[in-house]
């Protein structure tokens, strides 16, 4: 008789568990198959992947990166970036007064934004929009855009990118800015290199709230 171990904390966060053939102590039928996975090098993946391809990332978990220097006050959490997927999803958190993205465009990438908390300001084409929680913004490829925290409290949004891959920019940028330290020239060269690699054409300086 098998016991369902999917609820055991030690196994939920460590190693790999496939429960499609596990049974409860009472002998009840097996639960739908799932896999608990842990990333290499001791980092928690904290992701539930079901045998039918569905994924669940638990609240408050997932890899996050923050940005030092002139882009500080912003944090990105990678929500969904499975290889071969049609899109990727990140959560963006911005402190009040933090610099936003510079106006930029993508030649091959569509982006969609949904504001979860607080207020963001968006520049989309020649429009400037106030986007409180519950606002959805779609930016097709080729259209200039930027966003920043336009309020007085922390703001959060979800960004969906299609096709996926662009989210790797944030990871490499965060790591590269840390390595650059106070070397402004190295930071500028890093941004230029990553912009070319990840389909980003910057057309202006970073945006931020007026007050």
Note the pLDDT of residue 25. Answer: 31
* Nearest one of 38, 39, 32 to 54, comparing CA atoms: 32
Burial grade of 176 (CB within 10 A; 0-12, 13-18, 19 or more) = middle
Note the pLDDT of residue 147. Answer: 97
Beta strands in 38-154 (DSSP E): 47-50, 55-57, 64-66, 74-80, 88-94, 104-105, 110-117, 119-124, 127-132, 136-139, 145-149
- What is the reported pTM? 0.75
Each residue's pLDDT, cut to its tens digit, for the chain (211 residues) gives: 333 434 544 334 333 333 332 322 333 333 333 333 333 323 344 678 888 888 888 888 888 999 887 788 999 999 998 878 999 999 999 999 999 999 999 999 999 999 999 999 999 999 999 999 999 999 999 999 999 999 999 999 999 999 999 889 999 999 998 888 888 888 889 989 999 999 999 998 888 887 5
How far is residue 204's CA from residue 209's CA, in Å, rounded to a whole number? Answer: 15
Phi, psi of 157, deg, nearest 5: -145, 160
Domain ranges in the chain? 9-57, 64-202
Token pair listed for 29: 């039928």
Task: Give the CATH H-level superfamily of domain 64-202.
Answer: Jelly Rolls (2.60.120.10)
């Amino acid at each position: 008789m098998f016991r369902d171990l999917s609820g055991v904390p030690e196994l939920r966060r460590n190693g790999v568990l496939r429960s499609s053939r596990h049974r409860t102590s009472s002998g009840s039928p097996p639960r739908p198959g799932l896999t608990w996975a842990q990333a290499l090098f001791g980092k928690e993946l904290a992701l539930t992947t079901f045998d039918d391809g569905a994924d669940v990332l638990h609240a408050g978990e997932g890899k996050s990166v923050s940005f030092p220097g002139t882009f500080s006050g912003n944090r990105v959490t990678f929500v969904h970036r499975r290889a071969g997927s049609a899109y990727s999803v990140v959560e963006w958190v911005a402190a009040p007064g933090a610099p936003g993205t510079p106006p930029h465009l993508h030649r091959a990438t569509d982006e969609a934004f949904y504001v979860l908390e607080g207020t963001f300001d968006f520049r989309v084409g020649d429009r400037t929009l106030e986007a409180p929680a519950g606002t959805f913004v779609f930016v097709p490829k080729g259209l200039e855009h930027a966003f920043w925290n336009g309020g007085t409290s922390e703001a959060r949004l979800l960004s969906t990118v299609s096709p996926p891959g662009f989210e790797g920019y944030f990871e490499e940028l965060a790591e590269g800015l840390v390595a650059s330290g106070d070397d402004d020239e190295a930071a500028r060269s890093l941004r230029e290199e990553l912009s070319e690699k990840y389909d980003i054409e910057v057309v202006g300086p970073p945006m931020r709230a007026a007050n």
